[in-house]
Structures are given as C-alpha cells and as structure tokens.
A and B are shown apart, each in its own frame.
Chain A
Amino acid sequence: MVESKSVTSPNTKNRPLSPHLTIYKPQITSVLSISHRITGMFLACGLAFLVLTLWFAAYSPSCYTTIVEYAGTWWGIGLLMAWTLAFFYHFLNGMRHLFWDAGHGFELDVVTRSGGIVLVGTPVLTFLVWYMLLLG
C-alpha cells in the first residue's frame, strides 16, 4: 500500500514493496484468519441492530412492530441466518484462538484439522438453531 502521507514513512512513495496479499495462494490458515475479522465486524453490526431493536421496544413500540414484521420477511430471515452463521464461525474460531493463546495446536496438521472442525461446525450449529427456531 503506497501512502504518500503515511505516519511512519513520509519518503517511501517510489520504493519497491514486498510481495503483498494478492500474490499468495489462499490457504485455510489465511482465509480463516481474515474471516474471523470480517465476521467480527459483521457481528458488531448485529449487536448495534440488537440494541436498536431493544431501544425501539422500550421507547417506540410502533418501530418495534415494524422491525419484527421485516424480520419475518425472507430477507430478514436471511440476514438473521447470516448473523447466526457469523456468530458460530466467530465462536468456534475464537476457541481456536484461545487454544493458541494457551500455546497449543500450532502444528500445521493440527491447525488444518481445527480449521476443518470450524468449517464443519459452523453450518451444523447454525442449522440446529434454525431447525429449533422454525420447526421446534
């Protein structure tokens, strides 16, 4: 990233850059890592949405009713499902991070396997919750 007014480097405009993200083949480690961040940001939006919903329930019942109506439409349910997916992903991958913080699971095969568990567990848990919500 070339920034002419960067804080750390005012005179680096025309210097060569080391190979950046775009040159690397996507790997399970890197893709899951950036996904953790993306789902985190998405969940922050979900948190804001949840708080606003509670706020409207307390202070503007008509707005609350409207929100509940929209939440029942196909795209409302789709958005809520996307939030459930993002949550379980962030939850499972966060547990991976906690194990790493404790110093476990850094071997390449273990990292790949735990990543696989996250990728399988996320849709399974999301399906279970929505199965209970819609049909339970």
Chain B
Amino acid sequence: MSIRTSLAKVRGLGSAKDGTHHWWMQRVTAIALMPLFIWAVFALLNVPLSDVPALNAWMKGPVKALLLGIFICVACYHGKLGMQVVIEDYVHRCFRKHVFLMINAFVFTLLAGMGVLAILKLHLM
C-alpha cells in the first residue's frame, strides 16, 4: 500500500500510462548498440563465414559469443521499440493495431530467443 495520492502517481505518465519509459529505453538501447554494432561490423570482417566448423571455431571464444548474444538481444529490444512506434503511428484501427503490436512483441522475442539459443549451441558444439 502506498500513501501517495492518485494525482502524484499519474503525474508525468501521460496518455500511454508508462511515462517516458519507452522513449528512455530506446535511447539506452541505442547507446548500448553503438559500440556493440561497431564491434559486430569489425568482427564480421574477420569471421570465417564460409563453413560451419570455421564459424564454430570463431564462436568458441567466450567474449565473442557473449558480445554477439548481448548484441542480438539489445538489437531485438531496440527494434521492437522502433517498430512499435511505427505501428502506433500508421495503424489506426484499434483491433488491427493491437494485433500488430502483439505480433511485433512476439516476433522480436522469438528472434532474441533464437539468436541466443543458436549462439549457445555454436559456442558449445
């Protein structure tokens, strides 16, 4: 139980009821992605992509596997937030909008899970 008044609770939350959380997390993930993406681009220059064993050998490095996993997760979070805004802006019909928003959340969660599982397997194989 809180002793804060209803007005104090609602102040600053706006019509979306979550205040600046979405906006702020988009910035936090953006800043996290800057070094991660640059690392990924330069790592990509050295990854032997030609076959699975070579990729496996590269993925054996714990730091590489970890950074790649974090990169995928943060990118999925950032992408989910961004696509959410696009849907909110351009899909006007209530039911359709909420279906799209849910699909958006499901797809990015699925992608993050698939990425982590695949990296884990390649790392341990």
Chain A residues within CB distance 8 Å of chain B:
1, 3, 5-8, 37, 40-41, 43-44, 47-48, 50-52, 54-55, 57-59, 61, 64-65, 68, 71, 84, 87, 91, 94-95, 97-98, 101, 129, 132-133, 136
Interface string of B47-81 (1 = CB under 8 A from A): 00111100100000000000000001001100100
Number of A-B contacts (CB under 8 A): 88
* Cβ contact within 8 Å between B118 and A57: yes
The 27 sampled A-B contact pairs (Cβ below 8 Å) are A5-B93, A6-B93, A7-B93, A8-B92, A37-B86, A40-B79, A40-B82, A47-B76, A48-B107, A50-B115, A51-B72, A54-B72, A54-B118, A57-B118, A57-B122, A58-B117, A58-B118, A58-B119, A58-B125, A61-B52, A68-B49, A84-B41, A91-B37, A94-B30, A98-B30, A133-B44, A133-B45
User: CB-CB < 8 A to B114: which residues of A?
Assistant: 51-52, 54-55
* A-side interface mostly: helix
Q: Is the CB of B30 within 8 A of A1?
A: no
B83: interface (CB < 8 Å): yes
Q: Is the CB of B121 within 8 A of A59?
A: yes
A51 to B30, CA, bound (A): 19
With A47-B75, A58-B122 known as contacts, the answer to whether A129 contacts B41 (CB < 8 A) is yes
Interface contacts beyond A7-B93, A50-B115, A55-B115: sample of 19 additional A-B pairs, CB < 8 Å, sorted by A: A3-B93, A6-B92, A47-B72, A48-B111, A51-B118, A52-B114, A54-B114, A54-B115, A54-B119, A55-B117, A55-B118, A57-B52, A57-B55, A58-B117, A87-B37, A91-B34, A95-B34, A101-B27, A133-B44
Q: How large is the interface on B (under 10, 10 to 19, 20 to 34, 35 or more residues)?
A: 35 or more
Report the Cα distance A6→B55, complex, angstroms. Answer: 50
